[in-house]
Copies of this chain bind each other. A is one copy, B any other.
């Protein structure tokens, strides 16, 4: 059921309209001041089609803290760096536990279940650091985001990064724990430095949707025409998003939305409709699982109206 570009804008507006009563729902993350003071009434959504057309509603141009959505892109970089070798250091199974659980690590010898839980993303950051200085690695990560979104205004919010670092005891526990098993190769504080800064990337829905577009298009950025990853790798990253992208609510997201997606505690979600479009939504209030409440609802409605569910 191919969808012409006009209907996309229509659907987007319908979704925006139907979301109005729900805007502000959920609980904004408050573990650091920079996130806590975000206006809970913000709502933005952007759809970029495989042909490169861009549709937006609401606060789609306003940068927000993408947090764990960044993990999709650092995973892409790490696979580019060491390929399938990554899978000896991190699994690719849903964890069945919360994003910051340490229990699984003890039972499985310091190998995180997948690259989207915190422990797994810290290993990915460690792969990217690879003996370099955090500054260099972060420069490379930032460059990748700017390249993918075609927008040099993407930046790392140092204020957020500092706060993450100051309060990140559970992440420090995860990194130290994996270090004890030899699964962190750099000094713990350097690896965490990279991780906290990648989580502090500030991007708008429009930038984020553009950045994810290669995943909806067989690995190729249709705007630049350049191949980011092979079709097979794009498929596999999408597969990981659908089984692991929403922590212990991944099953629920697949059930309700039917698209590969990755959420962040800043209220952003990136969803991929393979062959169709890359979609980003932002609404700061979180549900009980730590995913954007209204953002998930908006994607559910959008997927229903567009018929873009990968499940038929």
**Which residues of A are interface residues toward B (Cβ below 8 A)?**
91-97, 101-107, 113-114, 169-170, 172-177, 179-180, 188, 215-218, 231-232, 234-236, 238-240, 242-244, 248-252, 254-255, 258, 260, 272, 274-275, 304, 309-312
Knowing A92-B252, A177-B170 touch, does A274 contact B97 (C-beta < 8 A)? no
- 8 A-B residue pairs with Cβ-Cβ distance under 8 Å, sorted by A, are A93-B250, A96-B113, A103-B103, A170-B177, A232-B304, A234-B312, A235-B311, A235-B312
Chain B residues contacting A217 (CB-CB under 8 Å) are 312
Copies in the complex: 4
Residues of B within 8 A of A255 (CB): 92, 236, 239-240, 243
Chain B residue nearest to A237 in the complex (CB): B311
Residues of B close to A239: CB separation below 8 A: 251, 254-255, 258, 311
CA gap between A170 and B275 in the complex, in Å: 44
Contact, CB under 8 Å: A275 / B312: yes
Cα-based distance from A136 to B236 in the complex (angstroms): 44
Check A243 against B235 for contact (C-beta < 8 Å): no
Bound Cα distance A94, B238 (Å): 17
CB neighbours (8 Å) of A240 from chain B are 251, 254-255
Q: How far is the CA of A312 from the CA of B214 in the complex (A)?
A: 11
Chain B nearest Cβ from A252, distance in angstroms: 6
Q: Please report the C-alpha to C-alpha distance between residue A188 and residue B170 in the assembled complex, in whole angstroms.
A: 12
A238 contact from B95, B103, B216, B311, Cβ within 8 A: B311
Tell me, rounded to whole Å, the shortest Cβ–Cβ distance linking A186 to chain B.
Answer: 13
* B169 and A234 contacting across the interface, CB-CB below 8 Å: no
Residues of B within 8 A of A236 (CB): 255, 258, 311
Which residues from chain B contact A310 at a C-beta distance below 8 Å?
Answer: 274, 310-311
For the complex of A and B, the 9 pairs showing the least CB-CB separation, nearest first, are A96-B96, A274-B312, A94-B94, A169-B180, A173-B177, A238-B311, A93-B251, A310-B310, A172-B176
Measured CB to CB, the closest approach of chain B to A158, in angstroms, equals: 22
Asked if B215 and A250 make an inter-chain contact with CB atoms under 8 angstroms apart, the answer reads no
Find chain B residues with CB under 8 A from A312 CB.
215-218, 231, 234-235, 238, 272, 274-275
Q: How far is the CB of A297 from chain B (nearest CB, A)?
A: 16
* Interchain CB contact under 8 A, A169 and B176: yes
Residues of B within 8 Å of A249, CB to CB, are 93
